[in-house]
Amino acid sequence: MAAIELVDLKREFRQAKRFDGPFGAVRTLLTGEYTTRTALDDISFAIEPGESVAYLGPNGAGKSTTIKILTGILVPTSGSVRVLGNEPHTHRQENARQIGVVFGQRSQLWWDLPLIDSFDLHQRIYKIAPARFRANLAFCEEVLRMEQFLHTPVRQLSLGQRMRGELAMALLHEPDVLFLDEPTIGLDVLAKDRIREFLKLVNRERGTTIMLTTHDLRDIEELCERIIVVNLGKLVYDGRIAALRERLGSERTIVIEFSDDPGTVEIPHATLVEDRGVRKTFTFNRAEVPALDLVAALPRNLAIADISFEEPSIEEVIRRLYRSMETDGPDKEEIDTWTRGQVVTQ
C-alpha cells in the first residue's frame, strides 16, 4: 500500500467576482457572481513508504493546497486521496495521529512556556507511552542538539532553535508520514544543515516517509531522490532528479585557463560565453560531443594552465524548468514533449 496516494485530485475555489470602478465593491456585494479558480487539476501520484519526496512549484502553484488536503483540513472537489489508507478529511483525527506536520511559517509550540512544556502536552494529546516518549525525546534532543534550550521559553528561542523544536514535536509520536512545508525558510546555513541531517537520519533509520515543499533547492539535493513539480495546479514533472538533470541540464560548461592570452580560440561544437583573456568559458552539449573529445580538439600549440568542467546545479535545472513553464521559449516544446511522456508513462 502506498503511503500517500492521489488519484485525479481536483480542488476548485469559488471567489466572489470583483468589479472595477468606484462602485465595484457594491456590485461585488450585490451581484453575488462567482468565478471558479482551479487550484489543483487532476493531480495523480503515489508515494511509497520510506520515500523522501520534494514537492515543488513556483509560488501559487498549488503546493499548500495539496498539503492541506493531505492533512485533512481541506476537502477536495473531486478525485480520491489516501494517506496510510485513510481519507484525511473524513478521518481527520485518525489521520492526525499517524502524520507529523511542520509549517515553516506557523508555530505549533506554546509561545510563553519552555519548549519542554510543549513536548509534555504533545505527549498527552497524542497519548504517547512514557517510555516511548522519553526515548524519542532523547533521540531528538541528541541529534538536534536541543539540550541547551529545552528549558527556555519558546519566545526567547532563535528561529533555528524554534524550528528544531517544531521538528522534534512533529516526530515525538513516531508518525509514519511527515509533511514539511518549507521547513528551512529563513534559517542560516548551519541551522539548515542540522535540520537536513536530522531529516535524513529520520528517513533512513526510521523509514519515515517524507514529503516536503521548499524553495531552497539544496534541501532537495540533500534529502530527496524524487521530485514532483506542479504548476498552475497541474502536475508537470514526477521523477528522479537525475533524470530531470539529464534532460534539462545536458549543457555543460568548460572553463579553460591559458598561460598567456591566446586571442581568439575556437573549439568545434562549443560556444564561447565569456572571454577574459587568459580565462575563457565555453558551453557545449554533452549529448552532442563527449567532454574528452572536446579537450582533445583543443589547439595543440596553446599552453593551458587549467581546465575545469561545471555541472549545471539543480538550481539551474529547476530554473530552466520554471522558466520554460512561464514562457514559450525555445525549451518549451522540448520540455512539453518529454514531460508529457514522463507523466503518462509513470
Chain residues that interact with another protein, rule: CB under 8 A: 11, 13-14, 39, 65, 68, 71-75, 89, 92-93, 96-97, 101, 103, 106-108, 110, 112-113, 117, 120-121, 124-126, 153
CB 31: neighbour CB atoms within 10 A? 11
Residue 143 or residue 185: which is nearer to another protein going by CB? 185
Q: Which residue's CB is nearer to another protein, number 105 or number 301? A: 105
Specify the 3-state DSSP secondary structure of 104: coil
The smaller minimum CB distance to another protein, of residues 31 and 108, is found at: 108
Distance CA 305, CA 165 (A): 50
Considering the complex, what minimum distance in angstroms separates the CB of residue 159 from another protein?
Answer: 17
Closest to 180 measured CA to CA, from 261, 99, 279, 83? 99
Min dist. Cβ of residue 232 to another protein (A): 17
Instruction: Specify the residue, 154 or 248, whose C-beta has the smaller distance to another protein.
Output: 154
Residue labelled with grid coordinates 596553446: 302
Between residues 69 and 318, which has the closer beta carbon with respect to another protein? 69
Closest-CA residue to 3 (of 43, 40, 50): 50
3-class DSSP assignment, residue 111:
coil
Q: How far is the CB of 95 from another protein (least distance, A)?
A: 9
Between residues 19 and 126, which has the closer beta carbon with respect to another protein? 126
* C-alpha to C-alpha distance for 91 and 43, rounded to whole angstroms: 21
- 136's torsion region: left (phi>0), alpha (psi -120 to 50) or beta? alpha
Min dist. Cβ of residue 62 to another protein (A): 12
Q: Taking the complex as a whole, how short is the minimal distance between the CB of residue 276 and another protein, in angstroms?
A: 50
Question: Residue 168 Cβ, how far from another protein at the closest point, in Å?
Answer: 16
* String of DSSP letters for 20-56: -STTHHHHHHHH--EEEEEEEEEEEEEE-TT-EEEEE
Q: Which is nearer to another protein, 65 or 339 (CB)?
A: 65
Least distance in angstroms from the C-beta of 126 to another protein: 7
Which candidate, 224, 246, 212, places its Cα nearest to that of 321? 246
Tell me whether residue 143 is exposed, middle or buried, using C-beta atoms within 10 angstroms of its C-beta: 0 to 12, 13 to 18, 19 or more: middle
Contacts of 21 (CB under 8 A, 6+ apart): 27
